[in-house]
Amino acid sequence: MATVELTFSALPAHVRTARLVATAIARRTGVEESLLDEVRLAVGEACSRAVEAHRVHCPGEPVRIELRDDSGRFEVVVTDVAPSDDIEADLPSVVDQPLGMMPDPLAAGFGIAVIAGLADDVEVQASPKGMRIRMSWPAAANGLAAPA
Amino acid sequence: MDLKLDHRTEDRLTIVEVEGEIDVYTAPRLRELLIDLVNKGNFHLLVNMEKVDFLDSTGLGVLVGGLKRVRAHDGSLELVCTQERILKIFRITGLTKVFGIYASVDEAKEAHGRDK
């Protein structure tokens, strides 16, 4: 298993960097080209959510992202230390709501709903100590460890 | 790529040209533009997203916010988008039912003209 870890200050400008790094490593790991847009968007959503949560609760704390090649899967784990509860992890049902009743997308965990629609394997763990979002996609069996 | 914004008014329709990435960093600029346009009396907006490389839920939130504002004035906010990667996020969130989405500016203008 090969792992890349990245921590970054909770600033919106850094989310793009995290997306670019994740996409580059996904490609290197052997994730299909057709899935790279999904990886980019899902990682961006997870990091955006974490950054916004940190800006509210703990702006001085960094957000952590781990990217690993694990037995033919490309796995990404985004971890924050902002207090969250299980309600936020519930996937909102916005489709049937009239526009006037539609909640603010970020506040309602819209990003997590998007991630759930993109990654075929998603696990969200929310606790008072923070949120951990793990997601994975199929990759080449020897992706990240293979020589260039 | 950063976000580039431009706008022009044709008849009663204000066309907003968006180019680049709409995410948590850049979306506030689009929000400010939409708010400014509405505050200046532009209630029929068409956002051309054909040159948008990336859109996340923050960007969706800005578009939903813009739609709420124009609807408060009996206006409209519609989109031009044919890129599958962008359309996918609208489908995942069910927002294809909320926004009018057209294949070209001309097609949207034609539809807008019919509705007047």
Structure confidence by residue, pLDDT tens digits, A70-86: 878 999 999 999 997 65
Range of the domain at B10: 3-108
Residue B113, in any domain of the structure: no
A59 lies in a domain?
yes
Q: How many domains are there within chain B? A: 1
First to last CA, chain B: 37
Mean pLDDT is highest, among A85-94, A98-107, B84-93, for: B84-93
Q: Domain holding B81: CATH number?
A: 3.30.750.24
3-state class (DSSP) for residue A66? strand
Contact B93 A52 (CB under 8 A): no
Are A23 and A15 a contacting pair, CB within 8 Å? Answer: no
Token pair of B19 as six digits: 């180019």
pLDDT value for A52: 93
Total domains in chain A come to 1
Q: Mutate one of A11, A16, A20 to test the B interface: name it (highest B CB count within 10 A).
A: A16
Instruction: Using a CB–CB cutoff of 8 Å, tell me whether B101 touches chain A.
Output: no
Contact B61 A105 (CB under 8 A): yes
ipTM: 0.87
Report helix angle A33-57 to B84-93, nearest 10. 50
d(CA B16, CA B8): 7
A106 lies within 8 A of chain B by CB: yes
Instruction: Read off the pLDDT of each residue in B52-66 and give the average, rounded to a whole number.
Output: 95
